[in-house]
């Protein structure tokens, strides 16, 4: 019998790469351990992403900055904020980000896809993922596709982040096959800093990222088999403690989470509103 393909998304692969124990809590243990309360930075990221999706759903003549307050209000996710005052301040900040971001867009540019699912199968993976935006831009030999990922976390991003993102590389690999057009460029659009961090992949660099993803899938399957064969699940899916534990949904269920810095659900947005302080205990998560 042929091996079953490993069905995955970028977040599933990323969860295992970050911490095998978190992967187990998220994708294997049923019932899953209880999660902590919702994070305000996730609410903020979701609100901004949905606003931009709905922006592109408007007719061309309505894609104007004046449309943004209504769009943002309509998609605003309220969970995780400390209080209404903080929520209002973050709403205003998000609106500023969106207003300055859409100034950089030509409303007449119609993306090839907005929150578009792309999927591809390899010998090991059945990959699917939802790209924030897929642009079609002119290239020397005809249209070329570009993967665009919106970011709202405070941390500034550079071309190394775009180059190293497995998710973006897999989207590019899949988009190239779905649309049968070259897709080598990937971009992180960081709304708070109004910067774009981009990278131009090659066929080889995309293949390397795909090979890494396949290695991760093989590791996950091997760990699952080991558990089926009697290995202690805690051993097969070890903890990987680090700065990220403070932001982990399962830190209250995980033995390593007890040592993590406790974060309030609104800590990251509080820091997003505050002036930069490099000594504040590590980067806030990016959404």
Summarize as ranges the residues that interact with ligand SF4 (CB under 6 A). Answer: 19, 21-22, 239-241, 244-245, 248, 250-251, 254, 256-257, 260
- Residue count of the chain, please give it: 287
Q: Name 137's bridge partners.
A: 144
Output 76 or 250, the one with its CB closest to ligand SF4: 250
CB of 283 to ligand SF4, least distance (A): 15
Output 19 or 269, the one with its CB closest to ligand SF4: 19
CB of 21 to ligand SF4, least distance (A): 4
Q: Are 52 and 270 in contact (CB under 8 A)?
A: no
Output 211 or 243, the one with its CB closest to ligand SF4: 243
CB of 280 to ligand SF4, least distance (A): 19
Cα(173)–Cα(283) distance, rounded to whole angstroms? Answer: 29
Question: Which tokens in the block code for residue 90?
Answer: 């973050």
CB of 262 to ligand SF4, least distance (A): 11
Output 184 or 251, the one with its CB closest to ligand SF4: 251
Count CB-CB contacts under 10 A for residue 191: 20
Distance set, CA 12 to CA 128, 209, 273, 274 (Å): 11, 15, 30, 32
- Cα angle value 152/27/207 (rounded, 5°): 65
CB of 238 to ligand SF4, least distance (A): 8
CB of 236 to ligand SF4, least distance (A): 14
Output 118 or 268, the one with its CB closest to ligand SF4: 268
Neighbouring residues of 225: CB distance < 8 A, sequence distance ≥ 6: none
Output 34 or 74, the one with its CB closest to ligand SF4: 34
Instruction: State the alpha helices, DSSP H only, in the chain.
Output: 10-18, 20-23, 40-57, 68-75, 84-103, 159-164, 166-179, 203-228, 233-236, 267-273
């Amino acid at each position: 019998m042929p091996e079953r393909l490993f069905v995955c998304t970028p977040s599933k692969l990323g969860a295992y790469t970050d911490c095998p124990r978190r992967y187990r809590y998220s994708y294997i243990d049923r019932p899953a351990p209880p999660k902590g309360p919702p994070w305000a930075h996730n609410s903020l990221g979701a609100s901004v992403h949905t606003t931009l999706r709905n922006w592109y759903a408007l007719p061309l003549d309505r894609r104007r900055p004046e449309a943004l307050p209504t769009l943002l209000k309509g998609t605003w996710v309220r969970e995780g904020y400390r209080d209404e005052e903080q929520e209002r301040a973050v709403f205003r900040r998000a609106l500023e980000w969106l207003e300055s971001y859409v100034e950089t867009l030509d409303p007449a540019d119609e993306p090839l896809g907005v929150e578009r699912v792309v999927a591809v199968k390899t010998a090991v993976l059945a990959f699917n993922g939802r790209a924030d935006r897929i642009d079609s831009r002119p290239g020397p030999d005809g249209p070329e596709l570009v993967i665009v990922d919106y970011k709202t976390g405070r941390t500034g991003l550079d071309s190394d982040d775009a180059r190293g993102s497995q998710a973006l590389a897999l989207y590019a690999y899949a988009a190239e096959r779905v649309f049968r057009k070259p897709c080598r460029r990937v971009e992180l659009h960081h709304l708070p800093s109004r910067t774009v961090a981009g990278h131009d992949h090659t066929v080889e660099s995309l293949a390397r990222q795909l090979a890494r993803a396949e290695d991760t899938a093989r590791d996950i399957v091997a760990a699952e088999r080991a558990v089926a064969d009697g290995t202690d699940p805690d051993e097969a899916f070890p903890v990987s403690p680090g700065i990220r534990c403070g932001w982990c949904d399962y830190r209250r269920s995980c033995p390593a989470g007890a040592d993590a810095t406790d974060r309030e659900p609104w800590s990251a947005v509080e820091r997003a509103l505050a002036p930069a302080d490099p000594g504040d205990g590590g980067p806030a998560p990016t959404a």
